[in-house]
Amino acid sequence: MLNISEEKLHERIDITGTKSGKFVFFRKHYAIFNYVLIGLFILFIIILFLPWTQNIRATGNVTTLSPEHRPQTIQSPIPGRIEQWYIDEGDFVNKGDTILRISEVSSDYFDPLLINRTSSQIEAKNQSANSYDEKIGALRQQLEAQQEERKLKRSQAINKIEQARLKVRSDSIKLEAAQTQVEIAKTQFERLQTLQEEGLYSQTDLEARRLKLQEAQAKLIAQRNDLLSSKNQVINAEIEINRIRAEYADKISKTQQEIFTTQSNQFGTRAEVDKLQIQLSNYEQRSSLYYILAPQDGYVNKALRAGLGETFSQGEQLVGIMPSNYQIAVETYVRPLDLPLIHVGEDVRIQFDGWPAIIFSGWPNLSYGTYGAEVVAVENYISKNGKYRVLLAPDTEDNLWPEQIGIGSGAQTIALLENVPIWYELWRNLNGFPPNYYEQGENAQTETSKSNNKK
């Protein structure tokens, strides 16, 4: 009834006595309904105080715990051309098995005798370096001979200087003797001349005495010439020793320079030998790269470069392989708001895609079909999707993860946090607050949540 009329029908007509009025006004379902409402309200109040486990839900995918166990592609470190395949897609290969054979596409390595010829070059260079050793030995012997000859020549020159000096001393003594004889002869001549004037000696005796004086003077002049000649010999001997010193210094320096030049050439040859040995090692190592080998046990997923005679560049992916022995894990991504709540070693529940599960978000103990895990790594750098990556490993104390799950399949993760009342969780979600910040290992509310409650 809309009660839009001014006439009140129920005030003018009593309908409680009618059959419909008795059915409507005298039933007890209203009281029962009120009791039900009151009971539901009391039950709702009780539920509000039940414990609720705060959690962080996220999505992720199945991966491996160790990076070396994840699916990988095999590349060739050198450019080449596919010559032969030894496997088919889906085959199982052991570590070291040959997957395919390639050949060279660079003209620098076409020579089939490249390694042998490089070895011959190394041998020739080694012989050249050895010949330099012999030449250096001969030059050193020549240097020793020159040094010994210089020593002998110098000793000989020193002896000549000593002889010249002794001769100068001898000539000096003879000069003094000659001067004495001149003085004696002059004195005798003057005395004889006085006696001749007195008539005691004849003119002939005086002439004979004068002749002796002249002879003594001639000897004095000759002796002076000998002394000058001896002094010149000393000077010549000193000049000779200087000449010997300069001559052999030049010879020795030239020999040493030749030794240094030979050593320099030898070092250059040794450097060329080392360079050729490096090239030889590179050639040998390169020849071993013509066969692409399996890096570990696994299954060949897909040949990324097919056919024969197809060329590829350096580092290009050739074939994909999935390791056979691996330990699975789950990588999930959490919001930056939830990152401070995640710690290494915390418990996480996982629901795998394709595996039925009954999940009660706030009561993990009542959930069915989820598997236990623990946090083993938290990435500190944000990913491209704007979230932080968290790596989860199986919980050894929980049920084993299904063996049928594959790498890359999806997973839903629930990180378990604090136990709080349901009313607090409702209040937190209505206000858009994050889960409680807490120290790892604690289950009680923090002072931060308490202050939020007061507000």
pLDDT tens digit string along 376-397?
999 888 888 889 999 999 988 8
**Tokens found for residue 127:** 């012989």
User: What is the rounded average pLDDT for all residues in the chain?
Assistant: 80
* pLDDT for the residue numbered 448: 39
The residue behind tokens 């001896």 is 230
End-to-end CA separation in angstroms for the chain? 47
Q: How far apart are CA 132 and CA 259, in angstroms?
A: 10
Min mean pLDDT across 58-62, 179-183, 201-205, 276-280 is at 201-205
Per-residue DSSP letter, 323 = E
Fold agreement between 52-69+326-454 and 72-95+297-323: no
Q: Which fold has domain 72-95+297-323?
A: OB fold (Dihydrolipoamide Acetyltransferase, E2P) (2.40.50)
Strand partners, 269: none
Do 414 and 393 form a contact (C-beta atoms < 8 A)?
no
**Tokens found for residue 371:** 């598997």
Find out if CATH 1.10.287.620 is the number for domain 114-288.
Answer: yes
Q: How far apart are CA 89 and CA 195, in angstroms?
A: 150
Q: Which amino acid is at 81?
A: R
Nearest one of 417, 415, 416, 413 to 332, comparing CA atoms = 413
**Tokens found for residue 272:** 């060329």
Packed helices 447-454 and 422-431: angle between N→C axes, nearest 10 degrees: 70
Q: How far apart are CA 227 and CA 222, in angstroms?
A: 9
**Full strand arrangement of the beta sheet holding 298-303:** 72-75, 317-323, 298-303, 92-93
Per-residue pLDDT, averaged over 187-212, amounts to: 73
Do 122 and 273 form a contact (C-beta atoms < 8 A)?
yes
Which one has a higher pLDDT value, 424 or 334?
334
Strand partners, 372: 349
Helix (H) or strand (E) holding 101: strand 98-103
Q: How far apart are CA 131 and CA 117, in angstroms?
A: 21
Share of the chain above pLDDT 70, in %: 82
Per residue in 69-106, pLDDT tens? 888 899 988 899 999 999 888 899 999 899 999 998 88
DSSP-derived secondary structure for 116-165:
HHHHHHHHHHHHHHHHHHHHHHHHHHHHHHHHHHHHHHHHHHHHHHHHHH
Q: How open is the CA angle 300-302-308, to the nearest 5 degrees?
A: 105
The superfamily CATH assigns to domain 52-69+326-454 is Efflux pump adaptor protein, beta barrel domain (2.40.30.170)
Strand partners, 327: none
Instruction: Return the number of other C-beta atoms located less than 10 Å from residue 95's C-beta.
Output: 11
In the chain, what are the domain boundaries? 1-48, 52-69+326-454, 72-95+297-323, 114-288
Query: For the chain, what is the total number of helices (H) and then of strands (E)?
Result: 7, 14
The residue behind tokens 């210094």 is 249
Strand partners, 378: 390
The residue behind tokens 């000779």 is 240
What confidence tier does 275 reach under pLDDT thresholds 50, 70, 90?
very high
* pLDDT for the residue numbered 200: 67
* pLDDT for the residue numbered 443: 40
Nearest one of 338, 360, 290, 345 to 102, comparing CA atoms = 290
Which one has a higher pLDDT value, 66 or 26?
66
Share of the chain above pLDDT 90, in %: 9
Per-residue pLDDT, averaged over 224-230, amounts to: 81
The residue behind tokens 């089939």 is 112
Per residue in 263-274, pLDDT tens? 899 899 999 999
Q: How far apart are CA 69 and CA 325, in angstroms?
A: 7
Residue 395 DSSP SS3: coil
Distant-in-sequence, close-in-space partners of 384: CB < 8 Å, separation ≥ 6? none
Q: How far apart are CA 377 and CA 315, in angstroms?
A: 31
CA distances from 147 to 128, 139, 243 (A): 28, 12, 15
Min mean pLDDT across 56-70, 89-103, 176-190, 267-281 is at 176-190
